Amino acid sequence: MKLSKSMDQVFCIMTMLYTQKADVPISSVTIHHRLRDSSPSYISKILRKLVVSGLINSVSGNNGGFTLAKNPEEINLLDIVEAVEGKIDTYPDSDLIHTVFSDYHEFAESGIHTITSAFRNADKEYANYLYSQKLSVLVEQVIGKERTTIIDWNEA
């Protein structure tokens, strides 16, 4: 499974929001400017997904923009991935096994069950690992704990 290009953009957005001065929303203009190689409408769609998922807040008004909706210690990679990519489901059961082995129905059913179970278990392992990875820890590993929440991206 390969995540979409959106994830790179989402991690940049979430890091900006994590390091933003407290109680100062980052304007959409600032976010679009920072992600300059990305389509503004595409970034708006990503921001909307993050708002709908409850990871970020949209603040209206002249000094509006976006803020984290949760404490960064409560946000994990699974939340972020599922907000943008949807639930982790790596096996695309296209019903081909039934078609190819239609004259061996019993084996086809057993094969489908075995393969889907294997992928479902792998998806659970992947989801559990992503769940264990907290946004706060990851950002602090990159920039250091003492440097977090000190930037006003609107002025940077």
pLDDT at position 146 over 70: no
CATH 1.20.120.420 matches 5-87+134-143: no
Indicate the pLDDT class of residue 68, thresholds 50, 70 and 90. very high
Q: Does residue 13 contact residue 46 with C-beta atoms inside 8 Å?
A: yes
Residue 149 confidence (pLDDT):
65
**Which residues have CB under 8 Å from 53's CB, separation 6+?**
79, 82, 83
Residue 66 φ then ψ, to 5° = -130, 145
Please write the tens of the pLDDT for every residue from 115-137: 999 999 999 999 999 999 999 99
CA-wise closest residue to 30 among 45, 41, 51, 16: 16
The DSSP annotation for 41-74 comes to HHHHHHHHHHHHTTSEEEE-STT-EEEESS-GGG
Residue 104 confidence (pLDDT):
84
Q: Does residue 141 contact residue 11 with C-beta atoms inside 8 Å?
A: no
Q: Mean pLDDT over all residues of the chain?
A: 91
Residue 148 confidence (pLDDT):
64
pLDDT at position 92 over 90: no
Q: What is the mean pLDDT of residues 87-96?
A: 88
Share of the chain above pLDDT 90, in %: 64
CA-wise closest residue to 6 among 54, 45, 53: 45
